[in-house]
Structure 1
Amino acid sequence: MLGFTTINVADNERVLLFRNNRLERLLQPGEYHLFNLSANIEIIRYDITKPELNNHLGRFLIKNYYDLLGNEVISYDTKENEVGLVYFDGKLSNVIPPNTFKMFWDVAVKVEVKIIDISEDFHVDKRLLPVLVRNKGTSIYVAGSNSIYYAEIADNHVGLLKVNGKLEKILKPGNYGFWRFNQNIEVGILDCRLQNMDINGQEILTKDRVSLRINLSASYRVIDTEKVAVLLKSHTDFLYREFQLALREVVGTRTLDAILEDKDIVNQIVEKRIKSKAYAYGLSIHDVGVKDIILPGEMKSILNQVVEAQKAAEANLIRRKEETQATRSLHNTAKVMEGNSTLMRLKELEVLERVTGKINQLTVYGGLDSVMNDLIKITEK
């Protein structure tokens, strides 16, 4: 129709009608014929099944055209210490940050916004956590991830809640959420179980200037979480450095022989020197032990030669003892046989048996008596 514009509004739509850049009407579902011969007509179409009404002029429209919009549009303006929880038909669907203005169509979907004051209590209600942080792939998960600092503390661990750099609270095992707005939230995790620490590859000079590479192992436990959190930036770095210094002090004041002779003394002294210092910082030392003492190549060769010489000397000593024992036994046997013809004869027969046992062929002259009496004969001198 000449001079007229036709506008169709669906049942799930609302249309803002602007004439000459001024909001004139909110069009409900239906068909409209508008005279536009001399006027500049502009429309903005909205799907009211999507409740959030996005318009950069939102505050202005609500303030100046509330009579046109008020029956179907609701608005919320959070303050600097407020957070809004947006529910669509009873389901948590979005989070409104502080200092934020939002408008919603309150027609096809029931919209409710709960305002939370976070100026004093920035903890997230534990009943909200599963919805905000575990429904991955949903819009509320995205909103929750951007709005909440989530921490999960496992068994035998504690959490160190720091707000703007200050330790606020020690958290027991469990799940926690904190609003990120207006403050810097950080949760550190401390493992309170017995833990191992390896101090490997320590190059140290002994008192007699022998270079050793030593590997040390220790076990420890966090017993005062507040001390560890307040007094130490990193308790593992602290322990590692203290073990290093103690090991260097103990090894550097002893000779190689003293260290090799009794490694346990090194363990005991290192543990004693670390224990009291660690306790002052909330740490308990349970065990310290030298795993390996590695000698340089030349020193290892020399030490092997010394060990080889010691073993050879021990073998010679044993051999000499055995020879002496054998001589003493022969001497005792000779004394027993002396003046005893029967024993002498038995010895002759024993020797005869050994001799004949090693002969392949024996030719006898003079008969069996000659063999028995003349072949082997032990005589006294």
Structure 2
Amino acid sequence: MPQITFQNLHSLLLFLIFVIADRREGIGVCGWILVSLSFLLVLVTFPISIWTCIKVIREYERAVVFRLGRILSKKAKGPGMILILPCTDTFIKVDLRMVTCNIPPQEILTKDAVTAQVDGVVCYRIHSAVSAVANVTDVHSATFLVAQSTLRGVLGTQSLAQLLAGREEIAHSIQAILNSATEQWGIQVARVEIKDVRIPVAMQRAMAAEAEAARETRAKVVAAQGERNASEALRQASMVLAESPAGLQLRYLQTLTTLAAKNNSTIVFPFPINMLKSSGQRSKEG
């Protein structure tokens, strides 16, 4: 009788596990026979085949294993070591890290019939490896094309003023549309950014001229308001000085003092006429 060793018991246990798993997957009698032959091939060439059957999946990766064309266990494997049977099993690695997709400049016709070129950035990641492999041929290419068409479609419904002023709101609406479109592919869009908006040179000059005219108008309004305030202040000062002639003389003397302090010049101080009249009247009375 053949001697039963620990290695034989281990191989038998693995065989039973594979048979139960394959029956649960419903691969049929022919599939069970193929899997059994594949497993026997591994046992016969065990020291060599073990290195080709064991695959290492990194922390940020998942492996979608196909056994006779069916996804094994309907879920991705990893991270860590997984066992792949030769001839019956194949696998596809899926990277779960964040992907940054640059959208090249797209020519957009805005709602108010202005042609503009807009580019952007879309950040997304795969949250379901099985959906990314089974539901779409090339998940990255499909996401890129959908992002391009969504960007053009959403920006085409906005005016130029809304496009220039509301980039953040537009980016959020694009992100929501992309999430609903790529959910069945196992994609989650994390962020959408509109990088640059380029408009024709003639439109730039017209907008610059309009902005300059608006600035000049505001400057004229501010200057007119200042002149009005100054005139009001002078009017009130003249009313105060008219009520007090002595105050006018004091203001006159203060102005002469200020001029003498700033410039080294000779100032002719005129003698008030009213003082001459008063002195003449006194001489006549004497």
TM-score range, shorter chain: 0.5 to 0.7
Deviation of residue 230 (structure 1)? Answer: 1.1
What's 1:185 paired with?
A: 90
Distance 1:318 1:234 in 2: 62
Deviation at 1:325, TM superposition (A): 1.9
1:224 aligns to 2:128 (yes or no) = yes
In structure 2, give the amino acid aligned to 1:353: T
**Which SS does the other structure have where 1:338 is aligned?**
helix
**Residue 251 of structure 1: aligned partner:** 155
Give the corresponding residue for 1:349.
253
Aligned counterparts of 1:289 and 1:359: Cα–Cα separation in 2: 64
Counterparts in 2 of 1:363 and 1:227: CA distance versus 1, 3 Å: closer
- Say which structure, 1 or 2, has more relative contact order (CA 8 Å, 6+ apart): 2
Counterpart contact for 1:123–1:179, Cα < 8 Å: no
Question: The residue matched to 1:346 in structure 2 has which SS?
Answer: helix
Correspondences of 1:313-324 after superposition (within 5 Å): 313-324=217-228
- C-alpha spacing 1:190/1:168, structure 2 compared with 1 (3 Å): farther
Greater strand share, 1 or 2?
Answer: 1
**Identity over the aligned pairs, expressed in percent?**
19
Task: Describe the superposition over 1:6-35 as per-residue Cα deviations: whole angstroms up to 9, x where unpaired.
Answer: xxxxxxxxxxxxxxxxxxxxxxxxxxxxxx
Cα deviation for residue 267 of structure 1 reads: 1.7
Does residue 277 of structure 1 match 2:181? yes
Q: 1:184 to 1:224 in 2, by over 3 A?
A: closer
Aligned length: 234
The structure 1 residue matched to 2:201, chosen from 297, 301, 314, is: 297
Query: Cα gap change, 1:293/1:122 in structure 2, threshold over 3 Å: closer, same or farther?
Result: farther
Counterpart CA distance in 1 for 2:224 and 2:261 is 31
Over the residues paired in the alignment, what is the CA RMSD in angstroms?
Answer: 3.3
SS at match of 2:37: coil
Q: How far apart are 1:362 and its partner, in Å?
A: 0.7
The gaps in structure 1 that reach 5 residues or longer are: 1-116, 133-142, 365-369, 375-381
Aligned in 2, Cα 1:162/1:340: closer, same or farther, shift over 3 Å?
A: farther
Asked if the contact 2:63–2:91 (Cα under 8 Å) also holds between the matched residues in 1, the reply is no
- Which letter does structure 2 place at the counterpart of 1:326? A
The structure with the greater share of residues assigned to helix is 2
Give the letter for the 1:119 counterpart: L
1:332-371 aligned at under 5 Å gives the runs 332-362=236-266, 370=269
- The Cα offsets for residues 326-364 of structure 1, whole Å up to 9 and x where unpaired, read as 222222222232312343233212321333344433165
Structure 1 240/288 Cα, relative in aligned 2: closer, same or farther at 3 Å? same
Quick one: distance in 2 between partners of 1:355 and 1:305?
45
> Shift in Å at residue 120 of structure 1?
5.1
Taking a change above 3 Å as real, the CA distance of residues 163 and 350 of structure 1, as seen in their structure-2 partners, is farther
Deviation at 1:178, TM superposition (A): 3.4
- Whichever of the two has the greater Rg, that structure is 1
Change (3 A) 1:304 1:225: same
